[in-house]
Structure 1
């Protein structure tokens, strides 16, 4: 019987495999973090099917949300598949499809406005424009690097990610703002959102700047992260066009089921809808 031992060499090879599969930097980082967490929990023991199931129970015991546990299991199962260890893959937790989004994580238009106003008042011009660019186009934070001087001049950005290429149209007003900022920063070509040393902003840097801003803006930190700007774009776009297929294309989703998640109402909104039914006498 083969012994399924996880080594650092295996994990390094898995990282290379994820790169060849053109997974996003954020996905690779998360998968490796979860695989290392499982390997640490195993403490050098050979993996058997019962171990993966016990780890799932262990995560439940620690209070992780089922959706989070499933995302961690997906990473570990991907590693097992890479190694050819099909016999030790673990089943996901069965989670009922969510019917609404928690209000504590819902970024409203008012919250967004306060974040922009606060960033500008604090002289954080780059952060304010970056948030506008994400929220005004629906790009992923990993796609910010495609917002270049050339894209602003053409009014469109060509994004190549996850093995797909799509064109993102840029609002005219945003293009003017991007070009004005680039000129001020003496950026003649290429990426617009750069660090002081001229490198592209990382996902972690953008996340950290937004988190620091939320306290000054009086917005709950649980609502403030780059992907929530994309959610706000999706909800606003859908209210304007009522075309989920078109929205899926704009967001770069291969499945409209993914897009549907972006359009979940908050629990408060759903409760108001129930009240309007008038079925409680």
Structure 2
């Protein structure tokens, strides 16, 4: 009896979750992508219920038709590429398990994703957002620490939500982060972020923390969650989104298309425009490939022009002087001396 695609999908998701080759968010995205693919197969190609789909229903022409369908539905190139990536990974899994003799997705090419410049905050906008926080309250101290940390380190909100007290090294000025695929990295923090974190730990977090119910109960201090909600529990990703949205509005900035990831984009963009090299930014962001970091190179031309102007011995020569000939005679462009 052949397994259904739904059963095999669950095995596939368990494998990539256990192997930790993908983040929790990516596993969830793959599940949604495969559900959409199965719905397309059942409703628009095979004429059967989703639960009745079997491996034999996976054919190269059907996968290509799925890509065409997504394009007609006006999905962006990057979204289509991710959907197809999920299907290809699933097909490779079935081939490794000998459920399929040949990989039906092997000959299906990826749709080229268009490069979209990420939205970023200006330095002035970041300052405005942080300035509207009322830091006289425990929640205000927490919110300032979160936003300063996001902008100072470029962490993903999921990484910030998972931080424990012991992940911040105040003596060296680093935060230890567990990112995608459980990979650890160390990211430097600026003095303003460290000051905000210190203020929160001294005058904010103690007032939010639940009091232990008995002697010896609870985690060691260094393993306790860094950011707490008003009930004393670990702050969630969704709450961090709401916090930033609140202060964007208070700062009088249009929130359309803005999110905590915008602070991550701003971190990278401002570093590069200030002279940081791409490899260092890649390491701080936790990107596995430098190609991912290259979306921020839209700031490079202006910086390169400034580097050239400051460094090259002939860069600051006046244009009129550059056309001056030997003995004070001028050259005419395209003519003789």
Following the alignment from structure 1 to structure 2, what is the Cα–Cα distance between the partners of residues 92 and 65? 13
Aligned residues: 261
Q: Residue deviations 1:176-228, cap 9 Å, x none?
A: 32132123221554322123344433333323443455444332333411221
Q: Does 1:117 align with 2:131?
A: yes
Following the alignment from structure 2 to structure 1, what is the Cα–Cα distance between the partners of residues 231 and 294? 40
Q: Residue deviations 1:46-103, cap 9 Å, x none?
A: 232222111111111111111111112112222222222553213211346x3x626x
TM-score, normalised via structure 2 length: 0.67
What runs of 5+ residues in structure 1 fail to find an aligned partner?
A: 270-281
Q: How does 1:147-166 map to 2 (within 5 A)?
A: 147-150=163-166, 151-154=168-171, 155-161=173-179, 162-166=181-185
Which of residues 135, 138, 144 in structure 1 aligns to 2:154? 138
What is the Cα deviation at residue 40 of structure 1? 2.2
Secondary structure of the residue aligned to 2:187 is: strand
- Asked if 2 retains the 8 angstrom alpha-carbon contact of 1:143 and 1:159, the reply is yes
Which of residues 191, 199, 209 in structure 2 aligns to 1:180? 199
What is the Cα deviation at residue 233 of structure 1? 0.8
Following the alignment from structure 1 to structure 2, what is the Cα–Cα distance between the partners of residues 4 and 51? 19
What is the Cα deviation at residue 166 of structure 1? 1.6
- Asked if 1 retains the 8 angstrom alpha-carbon contact of 2:158 and 2:237, the reply is yes
Q: How does 1:1-281 map to 2 (within 5 A)?
A: 5-7=4-6, 9-22=7-20, 23-43=22-42, 44=50, 45=53, 46-84=57-95, 85=100, 87-89=103-105, 90-95=108-113, 98=115, 101=117, 105-120=119-134, 125=140, 126-145=142-161, 147-150=163-166, 151-154=168-171, 155-161=173-179, 162-183=181-202, 184-186=204-206, 189=222, 190-265=224-299
More helix, by proportion: 1
TM-score, normalised via structure 1 length: 0.79
Secondary structure of the residue aligned to 2:228 is: coil
Following the alignment from structure 1 to structure 2, what is the Cα–Cα distance between the partners of residues 212 and 55? 39
- Asked if 2 retains the 8 angstrom alpha-carbon contact of 1:136 and 1:171, the reply is yes
Following the alignment from structure 1 to structure 2, what is the Cα–Cα distance between the partners of residues 175 and 263? 28
- Asked if 2 retains the 8 angstrom alpha-carbon contact of 1:234 and 1:263, the reply is no
Q: Show the counterpart of 1:276.
A: none
Between 67-76 and 44-53, the greater mean CA deviation after superposition: 44-53
Secondary structure of the residue aligned to 1:107 is: coil
**CA RMSD, Structure 1 to Structure 2 (Å):** 3.0
Secondary structure of the residue aligned to 1:237 is: helix
Of the two structures, which has the highest relative contact order with CA contacts closer than 8 Å and spacing of 6 or more?
1
What runs of 5+ residues in structure 2 fail to find an aligned partner?
A: 43-49, 210-220, 303-337
What is the Cα deviation at residue 4 of structure 1? 8.2
Following the alignment from structure 1 to structure 2, what is the Cα–Cα distance between the partners of residues 68 and 149? 36
CA distance 1:4–1:65, shift in 2 (3 Å): farther
Following the alignment from structure 2 to structure 1, what is the Cα–Cα distance between the partners of residues 94 and 239? 33
Between 222-231 and 65-74, the greater mean CA deviation after superposition: 222-231
